[in-house]
Copies of this chain bind each other. A is one copy, B any other.
Amino acid sequence: MNSCAVIIKNLYLSCDLYSMNRMKDHNDHEGYSSDLLGSALKGFGVGKVVESGHGELKKGDLVWGLTRWEEYSLITNPESLIKILHTDLPLSYYTGILGISGMTAWAGFYQVCSPKKREYVYISSAFGAVGQVVGQFAKLFGCYVVGSAGSDEKVELLKNKFGFDDAFNYKEEQDLNAALKRYFPQGIDIYFESVGGKMLDAVLLNMRLRGRIAVCGMISQYNLDHPEGVHNLANILYKRIRMEGFVVFDYMSEYSEFIEMAVPSIREGKIDYVEDKVEGLENAAAALVEISSGTNVGKVVIVVARDRVCFLYSSSSIIFASLCV
């Protein structure tokens, strides 16, 4: 074993479209490297250190970071793992709202979008793991927030659970441009982009002067051999729009700043979060396929093993079963 490597027992794995995107070839752009055919899929997860050759991690530490879709992982670059300091919140949250998706929302909204209070924020894919959090951050910050999602159920939750000012089901809109004009009669200052294609085209027509577009994804384009054309780009010029692609890895040095903001907000119930737990690594592939169909509600987490002591009730006694480690 490499002297500074660690072995972790994987507890929870994040299941999202990013995982799907990793299986495509992107010429190995930093942060978007593809996985090698035949190796376990890489992904973010929460684990417990079971062996450590790294000075700052010891056996029993809970960590999150890039791991693999397998029961135990050898992490040869353990400096990429982040030790979990706040364990009063569910550990699975570190696959999402306290991990990459929350940090992505934070970096994208606060760092890339340069928001101002009372600005008009539109989030496509608003019910996604990142979108939900962006919307709640934007509300806490004092913006007017509208999101779109792909089902009426999600739209209802965005409005009634996550506190968006408004939301709509984009699948029921014949004319996205008209829909955006209806929801943003004053136009859009900030667009948190996860979709691309026709949605981006409609948004460009509705952006305000000096608007900002944070490009976090272009989901509608990932599986197309010939990506759709975007026709309204001249608005970037006319409206002096800044459009910026970002990946969260460029912002990881600011993780503690994010945690200081996010942990109290979650504890105080100011930020809501929904998980869809999938039990067992053997069900992970099916979960990944399902996520592409957009039918999931909430962040999909693969439960590989549980860390906490779990109380199993039987008719006669309480059996303590430590399900992992």
Contact = CB atoms under 8 A, between A and B. Distances in A.
A236 B230 contact: no
Interface stretch (A214-222, A279-287, A306-314): A214-222
Contacts of A237: 215-218, 245, 247
Nearest to A30: B209
Contacts of A235: 245
Contacts of A209: 29-30
Interface in A200-223: 200, 209, 215-218, 221-222
A215 to B, nearest CB: 5
Nearest to A237: B245
A221 B235 CA distance: 11
A98 to B, nearest CB: 23
Nearest to A239: B29
A240 B232 CA distance: 21
B234 A231 contact: no
A250 interface: yes
A142 interface: no
B240 A241 contact: no
A200 to B, nearest CB: 7
Given A227-B232, A228-B229, A243 B244 contact: yes
Contacts of A231: 226-230
A200 B242 contact: no
B234 A218 contact: yes
A163 interface: no
* Chain A interface extent, by class: 35 or more
A59 interface: no
A196 interface: yes
Contacts of A238: 26, 29, 32, 245
Contacts of A243: 236, 242-244
A36 interface: no
A98 B207 CA distance: 32
A233 interface: yes
Most buried by B among A29, A215, A226: A215
Nearest to A234: B218
A273 interface: no
Nearest to A112: B242
A246 interface: yes
A241 B218 CA distance: 14
A243 B241 CA distance: 8
A218 B196 contact: no
Nearest to A197: B233
B230 A233 contact: yes
Interface in A2-23: none
B239 A241 contact: no
Contact of A234 (B196, B239, B250): B196
19 contacts: A196-B233, A215-B237, A216-B237, A217-B237, A226-B231, A227-B232, A227-B233, A228-B229, A230-B230, A230-B231, A236-B244, A236-B245, A240-B244, A240-B245, A240-B250, A242-B242, A242-B243, A243-B244, A244-B244
